[in-house]
Structure 1
Amino acid sequence: MTDAAPATQQNLHTLYRDHHSWLQNWLRRQLGNTWDAADLSQDAFIKVLTSSQNVADIREPRAYLLTVGKRLLNTFYARRSLEQAYLDALQQLPQALAPSPEQRWALLETLQALDELLDGLPLAVRRAFLWSQLEGLGYRDIAARLQVSERTVKRYMAQAYEHCLLLELT
C-alpha cells in the first residue's frame, strides 16, 4: 500500500462523514423514497471512490456530489421508465407466452445493459440501431420510419457501430 492510500481513505471518509446525510436527504426529497435515496447515496460515494478524481482535489464537495447525484437520478429514472415499458409490453402478451420471472429479470438486465451501451447516442441513431438489430428492419424501412434518406440511416448505423466498438475497446 502506498503512502497516498491512507490519505485517500481519510479524505473519502471525511467527505462521506461530512456530506453523506446531506446527499441522502437531497435524494430523498427528489425521489420521495427513503430506500432508493439510501441506495443512490451509497452509489454516489462508490462513483467517487472509483472515479479518477482525487478526493483531496474536490473544492466544492456538495456541488460535486450534487452532480454525481443528478446523474444517478437520471439513470434511475431511465431504468424505471425502461422497466415500465417492458412490463407494459408484457401485459399485451397472452398468458401462455409470458416469460417466467427469471426470464423477465434476465431480459430487464439485458435491456438495461443495452440502454447503457447506447447512452450518449442521439435518439435517431439509437432508434435506427435498435430497429435494425431487434426488429430486423432494413435501411429502407428505417429511413421511412425516421423520415430520412437511406444514406442518413447508413451514417446512423456507422455511428452506432463505432460507438459500440469504442466502448468495447475501453
Structure 2
Amino acid sequence: MTEPSVQPQPLLQGLYREHHGWLLAWLDRRIRCAADAADLSQDVFLRLLRRPQALPLQAPRAYLATVARGLMIDHWRRRELEQAWAETLAALPEAQAPSPEQELELLQLLIEIDRVLDGLKPAVRRAFLLARLEGLSCPQIARELGISLATAERHVAAGLRRCYALRYES
C-alpha cells in the first residue's frame, strides 16, 4: 500500500511552528524519554498532514494533546507487547528460537493482531478470544460470560468478520 502524496498546508506549517516546541515539552513530561517524545511529536504532525482536509482549530493545543494521547497509548501498548514478546522468546529453548528475521515478522504480526482486537468492543473481544485461543464453543462462551447463546454467536462472528475484513483490506 503506497502512502498518499501530501502537500504541507499553510495552516499546518503555522501550527507546527507555533506549537511544536510546546507539544514536545508536553510529551517529554509525560513519557520522560526525549527520543520517544520527539518521535511522537513528529507522528502527531504527520497524522495531521495525512488528513484529507485541515480542520480550523479553535483550541490547537487541546487538539494536539488529544492526538498525542492516542499516539502515547499506542506507544505504550506496543512497548508492553514488545516486552511480553521478549520475555516469551527468552523462555524458549535455544533450539526453538526463531531467527532475527522471523522474530521481527512475528512481532509485527502480533502488533497487527493487537490493533485488530483493539477495534472490537470488550465483550466481543473477550468472546472471540475465548473461541480462538481457549477453543471454547459458543455454548461454553455463553456460560462463561453469562450471556445468551445467540449473543455469544454474534460476538464470535463479529470478531471473525473484523479479522477477515482487515485481512482483505491489506
- Rate the CA distance shift 1:141–1:101 in 2: closer, same or farther, 3 A: farther
The yes-or-no answer on 1:45 pairing with 2:24 is no
- Indicate yes or no: 2:101 matched with 1:99: no
**Distance across 2 between alignment mates of 1:126 and 1:112:** 16
Asked if the contact 1:143–1:153 (Cα under 8 Å) also holds between the matched residues in 2, the reply is yes
AA at the equivalent of 2:159:
A
Distance 1:130 1:102 in 2: 27
Q: Is the 8 A contact 1:117 1:164 kept in 2?
A: yes
Cα distance in 2 between the residues matched to 1:142 and 1:80: 33
For residue 125 of structure 1, report the CA deviation from its aligned partner.
Answer: 2.3
Gaps of 5+ in 2: 1-5
Contact 1:125 1:156 (8 Å CA) reproduced = yes
Amino acid at match of 2:83: Q
Number of aligned residue pairs: give it. Answer: 163
Q: Is the 8 A contact 1:139 1:153 kept in 2?
A: no
CA distance 1:169–1:110, change in 2 (3 Å):
closer
Q: State the SS of the aligned residue for 2:9.
A: helix
Q: Is the Cα–Cα contact under 8 Å of residues 89 and 97 in structure 2 kept in the other structure?
A: yes
Aligned twin of 2:137: 139
Native 8 Å contact 1:139 1:150 kept in 2: no
Give SS of 2:127's match: helix
Q: TM-score, normalised by structure 2?
A: 0.81
Alpha carbons 2:40, 2:68 under 8 Å: kept:
yes
Q: Deviations over 1:59-111 (max 9, x none)?
A: 11100000000000000011111111212222221111011221111111111
> In 2 relative to 1, CA 100–107 (structure 1 residues): closer, same or farther, beyond 3 Å?
same
Structure 1: which 5+ runs fail to align? none
Q: State how far apart, in whole Å, the 1-side matches of 2:140 and 2:49 are.
A: 42
Q: Percent identity?
A: 42
Deviations 1:7-54 (A, max 9, x none): x62111110000011111111111110000010000000111112452
What are the equivalent positions in structure 2 for 1:15-164 lying under 5 Å apart? 15-55=15-55, 57-133=56-132, 135=133, 137-139=135-137, 143=141, 146-148=144-146, 151=149, 152-164=151-163
> Aligned partners of 1:44 and 1:165: how far apart in 2?
29
The one-letter code of the counterpart of 2:15 is L
Cα distance in structure 2, aligned partners of 1:124 and 1:93: 32
Identify if the C-alpha distance between structure 1 residues 20 and 145 changes in structure 2 by more than 3 Å, giving closer, same or farther: farther
Structure 2 vs 1, CA of residues 22 and 101 (structure 1 numbering), >3 Å: closer, same or farther?
same
Inter-CA distance 53–93: structure 2 relative to 1 (3 Å threshold)? same
Query: Cα distance 1:145–1:39, how it changes in 2: closer, same or farther (>3 A)?
Result: farther
TM-score of the two chains, using structure 1 as the length reference: 0.81
